[in-house]
Structure 1
């Protein structure tokens, strides 16, 4: 886990001459990430017309690379105390994959532009308690009399809700979702088979929550 200053320090003199403000301006004015992504989409369409679906399958399971690079570069302009950079390693298909992830710890500065420019902001969701966290983290400067809340009772009767913990998959393998085991293909395969079994029993489909987009993409590739 590194601070933004720690990332710059670890890179040393390699980044001394880089002006992130100029890079940000170029990325926004040229829209190069959008242009390259659009070209890739067009290339995928051509591949489908030619009967090759391998390329399009890969496109569906990954985010546009340049968009990810652009987003990561821009967050490095945030204040040092507003976030941390997390570096992790995992093994996928026998290869070591290094992942850089920026974790925003203080959303207030990023959200302030929305608050300043909008006449009113509506936050709607199904799981928003405790609402006090939204007030302190997103609207720290907002006066109390300008903040209104509205909530409804639970729409699902308690007799229609069941919570179960599943510790093993259909083949008997452990379903352990600790961070250190997320790269385990055997565990991911167990989870995938368990979901397929549930799908055969649950009518009208399911909603499945994953701990991260990286883990979701890993499951899609199995």
Structure 2
């Protein structure tokens, strides 16, 4: 195993995770009023609803699929589905929601760059994270074509082995597991880790502040007749 592979996929994940956790903690503690999505819908609503819905629906299902697919041990899902069939499901479902997400994201990028009011209110980090998401989505969709050359599920097992070893703090074993995979998969993982590293410094922090409690709260009486 090369030292670079060990650094990028055995050590870097923990650096990214630590920076993400500590950075979020410090930002929430010291700058709580910056902890928001900075929505630009009030500045320009044209095409925003469609683009935002496509992007968010796509990214939610993609993240759920990655979470379940990478962190579920084969010993569990083999009771229901084989590795090959699991990979095929991932290709079809992931490809569908990946395309939805890509369409929405391109629309959001076009809007942010071409609408004068939205562009004027945008920070560098807003534009940077959109293009990082674009690169990540394109890499993810490219892995579909590479996966068609090996439908036995072996690569999915190696990637899930990497993720599971990271979770149980076995960085060396994780780096060994991911070393044989195609460079596109590695770039996809690396960009994803880098987004985790930048997470506390961007608008993405709103992801972990979804107001689920609103669903169960009592109605607020604003005015009585």
More helix by share: 2
> Normalization by structure 2: what TM-score?
0.28
Larger strand share, 1 or 2: 1
**Which of the two has higher C-alpha Rg?**
1
Q: Which structure has the higher relative contact order (CA within 8 Å, separation 6+)?
A: 2
